Structure 1
């Protein structure tokens, strides 16, 4: 937190210097009074959201879709700034339920929600991260334990939760982890591990995966609109040479090209 404070002070000093005669540190109004208690209580029930890639959307359809998905007709949804939304709930329990399952789609676009942050303008909220459920495929049966799954996915983001699912008494189980991903970085298609001298490739499959680029692997756009790796450059000898594909989706029962 100290480094963040120092960065903020440095930015303020730079701003004052650039403004020169128009502005000085003496012109800064210092307000140390606490916000009204009723406003603080109201904000405690608010989530701030953004639709990734900021598509042009029908606001009424957006409201109806989310209310159905959340099974909550009483949440108040308002558009506060371009591409930013406020979701006000009737109780802290309702709000927390949404945060605990923070992975929602509208028209296959990722909807990111964040808790209210005191003294922070809406345009300063960070929507570059989101927690997604990642399933691991290809692990030997005897290795499918929580410790192993956590170790496997730790290099793709902050691991928040790990679950091993399967019928009671059955050896055949599947491992999944909720991982906070940096949405500005490419999705990881998998991981190569070595078990007792044998190399094994593990596929990662992402639950409820929104639009993502088959060229660069970043969520939020399609390959034809990719600025990092132009679409035509991915074609060799008339065949697509994509490093990413539909196999990253959980619902697609297909092994990756790796």
Structure 2
């Protein structure tokens, strides 16, 4: 992979293998120095001076949820309360971790973030 720096903190990543590009686009969300990196496939006409980031994916941690709710249907409903569900953490789905659940959601940055979600009286 090689990086080309553009204006406004944008980069173009060039990949030798299509599989590597797919992994970066679908395997995230990615963080560098605890900051989320927004990835998207190149589109013709991209202008780094004018482009605005309107959506991003992020992990949402859900604390205090009973393990019996660690099911894909429940996680999808909970995740969709804060954004659009992208995927559920593998440890959550396998119930390997019980302290919290994690879901990856696509967030609309034009809308306010939801700091708390209440599930059966718990937030």
TM over 0.5: yes
- Of 78, 81, 87, the residue aligned with 2:7 is 81
The normalised TM-score by structure 2 is 0.77
Query: How far, CA to CA, are the matches of 2:27 and 2:116 in structure 1?
Result: 23
Larger % of helix: which?
1
Q: CA RMSD in A?
A: 2.5
- Is the CA contact 1:103–1:112 (under 8 Å) kept in the aligned structure 2? yes
- Is the CA contact 1:146–1:175 (under 8 Å) kept in the aligned structure 2? no
- Of 73, 76, 80, the residue aligned with 1:147 is 73
1:165 equivalenced with 2:94 (yes/no): yes
The residue that corresponds to 1:207 in the other structure is: none
* Larger gyration radius, structure 1 or structure 2: 1
Query: How far, CA to CA, are the matches of 2:62 and 2:109 in structure 1?
Result: 19
The count of corresponding residues between Structure 1 and Structure 2 is 120
- Is the CA contact 1:165–1:173 (under 8 Å) kept in the aligned structure 2? no
Higher relative contact order (CA 8 A, sep 6+): 2
Stretches of structure 1 lacking an aligned partner (at least 5 in a row): 1-74, 202-258
Cα offset, 1:124, TM superposition: 4.5
The residue that corresponds to 1:117 in the other structure is: 43
Query: How far, CA to CA, are the matches of 1:178 and 1:90 in structure 2?
Result: 27
Consecutive aligned runs of 4 or more in structure 1 exceeding 4 Å deviation: none
The residue that corresponds to 1:200 in the other structure is: 122
